[in-house]
Chain A
Amino acid sequence: MKGLNLALGAAGLAAFLLLGEAVPRLGLVKDAYFPPTSRIAGALGDELADSAFWTALGDTLTGWAVGLAVAACAGVVAGVVISVVPYLREATASTIEFLRPIPSVALIPLAVLLYGTELRSVLLLVVYASFWQILIQTLYGVQDVDPVAEETARSYGLGTWARIRYVLWPTALPYVMTGLRLAAAVALILTITAELVIGAPGLGARIAVAQTSQAVPDMYALIVVTGVLGLLINVGARSVERRALAWHQSVRGEVAV
């Protein structure tokens, strides 16, 4: 079954690549603006051989990883604190609902004003966007704690810390992992966007330079790289999720007795 899925996936990709080759070659779109797959592959090869490309890739991954790590820690800690401290959830709910929908991209002028075109302005956007994903999931996760389990833990005399560790955290973890997976994708999108718009060093800035230089195949090659990066990040996030939740019934795949 798994083999069949893999084969189908590969066939779908191959068909897509063939379509990308055929459409410009048949003259349906101008190949100057939409180069065929083979020419993009050639440009991709040139990119891979260029050390500046790897530096840019490193910059992008640094922005992504640092931003995601900061957002994850801040989101989890804030989520637990907001849920555990009485009345805090009610007091912050409207503020969170106000701040959350602000598109991170709208903060670009602020980021430039504060930090110029450096990594820090990328981080501001990445952390802002991915923080909410994790915070909201953590809040839901903590809310999902079984009152019976919570009361039982209290009856057995478990302290606050022990209850967070043994009751709250295992309940919230599946939610947090979902938040982390969503945030990982959002963080990549925002890293590339920030680089593209602000010009901070990284793949995004390289795409922008290729674009203004009229180097169309290079631009597409770099876009393909960001796509592959997104794919890898998703696969990675899923495997982290599976490992962290190996004990959970959703992963174990059997009904708890």
Chain B
Amino acid sequence: MRRLLAGLVAGSFLLTTAACGSSDDSGSSGKASSSGGVTTVKLGLIPIVDVAPIHLGQKQGIYEKHGLKLTISTAQGGAAIVPGVVSGQFQFGFSNVTSLMVAQSNNVPVKAVVNGIASTGVKDKDFAALMVKKGSPITSPEQLEGKRVAVNTLKNINETAVRESVRKAGGDPDKVKLIELPFDQMPAALDQGQIDAACVVEPATASIRSQGGVEIASPLVDIAPDLTVAMYFTSQRYAQQNPEVVKKFQEATAESLAYAEAHPDEARAVVTTYTKIPAAVLEQVVLPKWPAEANRASIEALMKLGEQDGLFKTTPDLDKLLP
């Protein structure tokens, strides 16, 4: 027993020192490690359909070709990714454009580097939808006045989107009761009548469709045609210190985006490697658009609406934020 305890003590001290040792190693390596012309960069991504081009690009060797080796860490949301990128744990992360603008208006040093996803721009055929339950009396967004509408995050892109859909249809967005709810809980909440409408993205959109839910608006399409929804970003410090790595990442990602756009079946297939979306649902999923370039005009429109809705403390500086 005594020996066992002594062993345990010694073992855990070793572990602690080892842990401290390794934290020193990587703590100082805010920069990516490089060897033999190949730079290893760490990415913080959310395990969703949107980031399929990165996984596909990695699988197809596109990043390797540009001298990059990707280490992909999955994080549960922007709340973990933005601080991770700013503190140098990740070199690049994935975030929606509104979050990036909010971060920048709060002086968080982020820099968007390359396009992420865009809305399909086609009404009723977008990956995001404002949906009501089967048999609901609500048929148009302006009827949502006084009703409970779920968005995944308040004061963010989907709030802007829902408000714009209501406004465009002639309703008063201030009269809509917005409720914060994670996307994956929306199908159940809608089905049980806890909410009257939900602003959902895939694969929840497909789930609600399969329950007979009806789409009453395509909120991202209402913001702007071909809206750039999300982008890959880095920290300003990393962008200044490693312009070549950022350039390689931009080029490789643009190529991956183009590849995914041209090969939707492969993109769909790669999604199964990092999510658990059931095959039957995945078939029904509407893929986003993956243009290689961000659409500046659409981001300006999104910013104007965000300002109107009071999302930003100060006006975001798009010249500084965008690549």
Which residues from chain A sit less than 8 Å from chain B, CB to CB? 30, 32-33, 66, 69-70, 72-73, 109, 112-118, 120, 123, 196-199, 201, 205, 208-215, 218, 243-244
Contact = CB atoms under 8 A, between A and B. Distances in A.
Contact of A120 (B8, B19, B183, B275): B19
B188 interface: yes
Nearest to B202: A214
A194 B166 CA distance: 38
A244 B8 CA distance: 14
A225 B44 CA distance: 27
A117 B71 CA distance: 12
B76 A208 contact: yes
B120 interface: no
Interface stretch (B81-89, B143-151, B230-238, B248-256): B81-89
In the A-B complex, the 3 residue pairs with the closest CB atoms? A116-B89, A69-B12, A215-B276
B278 A215 contact: yes
A205 B74 contact: yes
B203 A209 contact: no
Contacts of B9: 73
B86 to A, nearest CB: 8
Nearest to A212: B184
Q: Interface majority SS on A: helix, strand, loop or mixed? A: helix
B200 to A, nearest CB: 11
Contact of A209 (B12, B47, B83): B47
Contacts of A109: 79, 83
Contact of A214 (B8, B44, B277): B277
Contacts of B16: 70, 73
B273 to A, nearest CB: 9
B83 A212 contact: no
A73 B184 contact: no
B19 A33 contact: no
B80 A117 contact: yes
A117 B73 contact: yes
Interface string B24-41: 000000000000000000
B192 to A, nearest CB: 8
A199 B74 contact: yes
Contact of A210 (B77, B89, B207, B276): B276
Contacts of B22: 120
Contacts of B204: 214
A212 B183 contact: yes
Contacts of A212: 47-48, 182-184, 275
Contacts of B269: none
A199 B73 contact: yes
B76 A213 contact: no
B141 interface: no
Given A112-B84, A198-B80, A69 B276 contact: no
B76 A72 contact: no
A117 B74 contact: yes
13 contacts: A30-B192, A32-B191, A66-B12, A113-B83, A117-B44, A118-B73, A120-B19, A197-B76, A198-B80, A199-B74, A199-B76, A214-B204, A214-B206
A112 B23 contact: no
B127 interface: no
A31 to B, nearest CB: 12
B259 interface: no
Contact of B75 (A33, A199, A215): A199
A209 B73 contact: no
A73 B11 CA distance: 10
Given A113-B87, A212-B47, A73 B13 contact: yes
Contacts of B76: 196-199, 205, 208
Contacts of B188: 30, 32-33
A205 B73 CA distance: 11
Contacts of B122: none
Given A33-B188, A116-B84, A199-B76, A213 B19 contact: no
B169 interface: no
Contacts of A70: 12, 15-16, 19
Contacts of A118: 73, 89
Contacts of A244: 1
Nearest to B82: A112
Nearest to B77: A199
Contacts of B15: 66, 69-70
A187 B181 CA distance: 29
